[in-house]
Amino acid sequence: MKLHVSPPAFRGRLHDPRTATSIGRWLGAAFAVCFVTGLISHFMQHPPGSLADDIPSRPVWGYRLSQGLHVASGIAAVPLLLAKLWTVYPHLFARPPLRSVKHALERLSVAVLVAGALFELSTGLLNTAQWYPWPFSFVPVHYAVAWLVVGALVLHVAVKAPEIRAHWTRRSSGTLALPAQDGPDRRSLLASVGAAVAAVTLTTVGQSFTPLKDLLLFAPRDPDKGPQSLPVNRTAAAAGVGRIADEAYRLVVAGPRSYTLTLDDLRALPQHEVELPIACVEGWSKSARWSGVRVVDLLERASAPAHARVRVVSLQLRGGYRVSEMGHRHARDPLTLLALRLNGEELHPDHGYPARLIAPDRPGVLQTKWVGRLEVTS
């Protein structure tokens, strides 16, 4: 007796190549933006070797825009990916499942693409919520899998080039059986996907694009919440520094001519005011008014050479963000301050009392708080 199982029948245009291509190009665009801005963020945080000196310190909002786009395009990709998977899932039931070596390789690349894309979007999304329910370290893994996804995506687009070309030229070919006209069903599917993308974007993008902050609904961070109206990622208590006593505080500037300043010495130096954002890699961003001493003034006093880099060291004893490095463009920028005040008041302990770094066009993780030492490095 022969057992006959017939695969489910999928008819209708919502599962056809034209719908898949329509959604796919928006998904592809979201992934492209996400990948490029991810690379920008990666290189600004971990510049390889001599590249550290090429990182620009302007425009001041550069990293804020780039990282805002990274998180927004990742969030927009979620409904797009779900819609795309729904459109193409009948292919999972196509028989025979494997037709040739070439077909098997193509299926394998799609499996890598789908798994990698789901991994990147879910880990990225949980990261914006500062929730790390996994045993590996987020940044290197998120970065490595991004390359895997992009490789599989390029392969996928190459394999599907005939379908994509047929869609763009609106030519119906016999083998691909693309309907020449769009039907109302397809239009309403695409409109719903577009509405979903608009909804998730508008209700989250306010965390970095403050004019839309009143629409925040799902965004994990409200840019207005926090001491001195500025969010905090790691509090003084969590960092183990608590409130640093004024009398005990010293700033050491280590260079060709090293020196040490007390808090009163720092307050007596020329103070400057700047308006600069904290742009956290996790997607929130907020501008504030900072005042303090120019880092370039502190470096000149130590006779630092013009091309010197600077290592900024926190009084925090443990944790990945206690040290940050700065190329000479950031170190010499007149907007780069060792800030003592925020929005007209002394820094709150959670914002780095008594002194924190604030520099233009710089990822939030590198805006070191509770600074105790500036080291001139060559």
Ligand X SMILES: Nc1nc2c(c(=O)[nH]1)N[C@H]1C(S)=C(S)[C@@H](COP(=O)(O)O)O[C@H]1N2
Choose one: 87-95, 216-224, 330-338, 368-376; the region binding ligand X (CB under 6 A). Answer: 368-376
Each residue 276-295 as x (binds ligand X by CB under 6 A) or -, in order, gives --x-x---------------
- Compute the least distance from the CB of residue 270 to Mo ion, in Å: 30
The tokens of 95 are what? 């028989």
CA distance linking residue 181 with residue 170, whole number of Å: 8
Scanning residues 297 to 316, which ones bind ligand X (CB under 6 A)? 314, 316
Among 85, 220, 321, 373, binds ligand X (CB under 6 A): 321
371, β-bridge pairs: 314
Among 57, 109, 233, 324, binds Mo ion (CB under 5 A): 233
Among 251, 364, 370, 372, binds Mo ion (CB under 5 A): 364
CA distance linking residue 301 with residue 141, whole number of Å: 42
Size of the site for ligand X (CB under 6 A): 21
Choose one: 26-34, 103-111, 204-212, 317-325; the region binding ligand X (CB under 6 A). Answer: 317-325
Choose one: 177-185, 228-236, 253-261, 337-345; the region binding Mo ion (CB under 5 A). Answer: 228-236
Contact 365, 357 (CB under 8 A): no
User: Omega into 354 within 30° of 0, i.e. cis?
Assistant: yes
- Residue type present at position 211: P
- The helix or strand, by DSSP H or E, that contains position 323, with its residue range, turns out to be strand 323-326
Of these partners, ligand X, Mo ion, none, which one is at the site of residue 142 (CB under 5 to 8 Å by kind)?
none
Q: How many other C-beta atoms are found inside a 10 Å radius of the C-beta of residue 250?
A: 14
Of these partners, ligand X, Mo ion, none, which one is at the site of residue 234 (CB under 5 to 8 Å by kind)?
ligand X
Contact 290, 341 (CB under 8 A): yes
Contact 39, 96 (CB under 8 A): no
What is the distance between the terminal CA atoms of the chain, rounded to a whole angstrom? 81
Of these partners, Mo ion, ligand X, none, which one is at the site of residue 367 (CB under 5 to 8 Å by kind)?
ligand X
Each residue 259-278 as x (binds ligand X by CB under 6 A) or -, in order, gives -------------------x
Of these partners, ligand X, Mo ion, none, which one is at the site of residue 369 (CB under 5 to 8 Å by kind)?
ligand X
Among 69, 253, 365, 374, binds ligand X (CB under 6 A): 365
- Compute the least distance from the CB of residue 316 to ligand X, in Å: 4
Whose CB is nearest to Mo ion? Answer: 280
- Compute the least distance from the CB of residue 223 to ligand X, in Å: 10
**Which three-class secondary structure state does DSSP give residue 109?**
helix
- Residue type present at position 59: P
Of these partners, Mo ion, ligand X, none, which one is at the site of residue 278 (CB under 5 to 8 Å by kind)?
ligand X
Tell me whether residue 21 or residue 208 sits nearer to Mo ion (CB atom): 208
Of residues 363, 367, 366, the one with CA closest to residue 280: 363
The tokens of 290 are what? 């900072």
- Compute the least distance from the CB of residue 350 to ligand X, in Å: 6
**Which three-class secondary structure state does DSSP give residue 270?**
coil
User: Omega into 227 within 30° of 0, i.e. cis?
Assistant: no
CA distance linking residue 156 with residue 25, whole number of Å: 12
User: CA-based Rg of the chain, rounded to a whole angstrom?
Assistant: 26
CA distance linking residue 151 with residue 139, whole number of Å: 19
Of these partners, Mo ion, ligand X, none, which one is at the site of residue 334 (CB under 5 to 8 Å by kind)?
none
Choose one: 24-32, 227-235, 250-258, 330-338; the region binding ligand X (CB under 6 A). Answer: 227-235
Binding-site ranges for Mo ion (CB under 5 A): 233, 280, 364-365
Residues that bind ligand X (CB under 6 A): 230-234, 239, 278, 280, 314, 316, 319, 321-322, 350-351, 364-365, 367-370
